Amino acid sequence: MRKYFKAIGLLFAAAFLILCLSGTVFAASYIVTDVYYENAGGDIVRIDYSKAVEDTAPYPTPDYTLYNATVAKIREALENFRDVWVIVLIQGDTDPVMIHYSEALKNGLTLKQAVDDPDQAYFLEDEEWPEYTMELVVDGGVAVEKPSGDLYWLKDLYIVPDEIGKQWLIYAILDADNLPGNYSLNDVDAVMIKGEAASQDPDLPERWQLRIEKDPDQFWETVTVNTGEVVLVIGGQEYYLGS
């Protein structure tokens, strides 16, 4: 029962955050610029919150795609007791600070109270900032999590459910211009995804596919993949994302 009420409390906290974040400026004391959250696959995902809010401006045409996705992702993370961090720029300061927002909530503090805390208990030092490997962006009118530009040799990573074939397809798209060393796509020995060897698309050599077959009655059980589960094998050496 206590766990139930704790979950409900976090949902109310998420709703409060969403109400607060309906505008980036809070009582003229600080501005929210970015939000980080941990997704179901264990990746740290960054959201350009300033852009999400700016997109909702009435002129020329409001677009709530990124903003609504931000709301949904924050709710999901808090509901599942995953970490959420908020980067704020405090009035009068030149450097932004990161607040461990989910921890502040668990201890009964609002975002404003965490920012105003004289002990700065929820402030993270620069070296403590989590490194994000994904970003929530709008692609083709839909908000999706994509690998960040810091991943070098991986251009894209996504999952598509095949309703007819009752399988999930994971695609890893290599960035031919950013492969390690002086290697080219012709030098790639293999791409491993979730510990399994992916298949190379003969028509698009930078695209690699892993099929995950599912029983029909279990088809809609979500399949996830995180960036740490993708390994590039080239020149006989393994490379992980960011390497």
pLDDT in tens, 192-230: 998 999 999 999 999 999 999 988 888 877 777 777 788
In this prediction the pTM is: 0.59
Report pLDDT for 15.
44
Residue 171 has pLDDT above 50, yes or no: yes
Tell me the CA distances in angstroms from 58 to 32, 64, 72, 138, 143, one per residue in order.
20, 10, 22, 18, 20
* Averaged pLDDT, 68-80: 96
CA–CA separation, 97 and 19 (whole Å): 21
pLDDT digits (tens, 9 = 90+) for 105-159: 999 999 999 999 999 999 999 889 998 988 898 877 888 887 775 557 888 888 8
